[in-house]
Amino acid sequence: MKNEVKLRFGTVGSPQTTPGSGTVAAIEHTKQLGLHHLEIAWVQSVRVSDATCADIKAAAEKHGITLSVHAPYYINLNSQTDELMGKSDLRLLTAARKGFLAGARDIVFHPGSYHGQPPEQVYQRMRDKLIELTGILRDEGVDVILRPETMGKGAVFGTLEEVLQLSAEVEGVLPCIDWAHLHARTGNGTFNTYDEFAAALTRVREVLGEAGIQSLHNHMSGIAYTAKGEKEHLPLNEADLRYRDLLQAFVDHGVEGTVGIEAPEPFHTADCLTFQATYRRLLDLREMESA
């Protein structure tokens, strides 16, 4: 089935080249660009009416564009006061409820900070919190997957292993693997070879099975980093990320799902198209070899 799109590429946030503003315009432009996915960036706050959500959902269905939501940055499943925890819970729940109304199935979020506490202790708190929040959403009939993201700084919760374990332990939770973050997190330039990328995908398969590989949500971009990890996103042409090797590992492991591209202006749309074109070329090469 050559025409069946198994790995859907799109931008995180409206493609920078979108004429006009708003998510509906971004969906139409995504379609024109030949992309298949859009991650709605509700990263500051979620202020959208139910009517607008319905418009977004209708536009996405009309154009065959799948949607995910990037929830607000100010979420921390390890908040240190009841007041902050309540606000954090509400941000994630609101992103999920509104995202579901808008037709998004995957809700991506940054899980939070260790606050200097032992990672195992923080892990348990986050797991319990996710059991609670997924339970609330399930009771409301909000059918979404919460996707904690792998993070780019060692001081912040979000190793590959932590995110995979949460996904294995909590129903309704699956990973968002940000590959640039995993590369930056090491702080020393490692996690940037075919073998390391392939080993990570093998680990995904071990923990989440074939179903995990076939519904993987990913972020990709160039990235700058220091010994402490992520500094900022970079255009691909200024970054050291070996994205061709990364995508080759995706092809070889049969990864399916979505890839959201984060790149600074003016390279946002261009880098997304480059990732997609590179992936397709590697896929074609593999099909020619096996023909």
The residue ranges that bind Zn ion (CB under 5 A) are 149
Burial class (CB in 10 A: 0-12, 13-18, 19+), 13: buried
Query: 10 Å Cβ neighbour count for 167?
Result: 23
Q: What is the rounded distance in angstroms from the CA atom of residue 169 to the CA atom of residue 208?
A: 10
Residue 288: CB minimum distance to Zn ion, A: 36
Residue whose tokens read 């996710």: 130
- 36 or 217, CB closer to Zn ion? 217
Tell me the two tokens of residue 225: 């980093």
Residue 209: CB minimum distance to Zn ion, A: 25
Q: What is the rounded distance in angstroms from the CA atom of residue 101 to the CA atom of residue 54?
A: 6
Burial class (CB in 10 A: 0-12, 13-18, 19+), 2: exposed
Residue 70: CB minimum distance to Zn ion, A: 6
Q: Which residue is nearest to Zn ion (CB)?
A: 149
Going by their DSSP bridges, the two strands 222-226 and 229-234 should be labelled as antiparallel
Residue 69: CB minimum distance to Zn ion, A: 11
Query: 10 Å Cβ neighbour count for 277?
Result: 12
- 33 or 180, CB closer to Zn ion? 180
Residue 99: CB minimum distance to Zn ion, A: 15
Residue 7: CB minimum distance to Zn ion, A: 19
Q: What is the rounded distance in angstroms from the CA atom of residue 105 to the CA atom of residue 150?
A: 19
- 149 or 162, CB closer to Zn ion? 149
CA angle 75, 197, 246 (to 5 degrees): 95
- 28 or 98, CB closer to Zn ion? 98
- 95 or 282, CB closer to Zn ion? 95
Is residue 51 within 8 Å of 24, Cβ to Cβ? no
- 149 or 271, CB closer to Zn ion? 149
- Closest listed residue to residue 216, CA positions, set 179, 266, 169: 179
Residue 61: CB minimum distance to Zn ion, A: 26
- 59 or 77, CB closer to Zn ion? 77
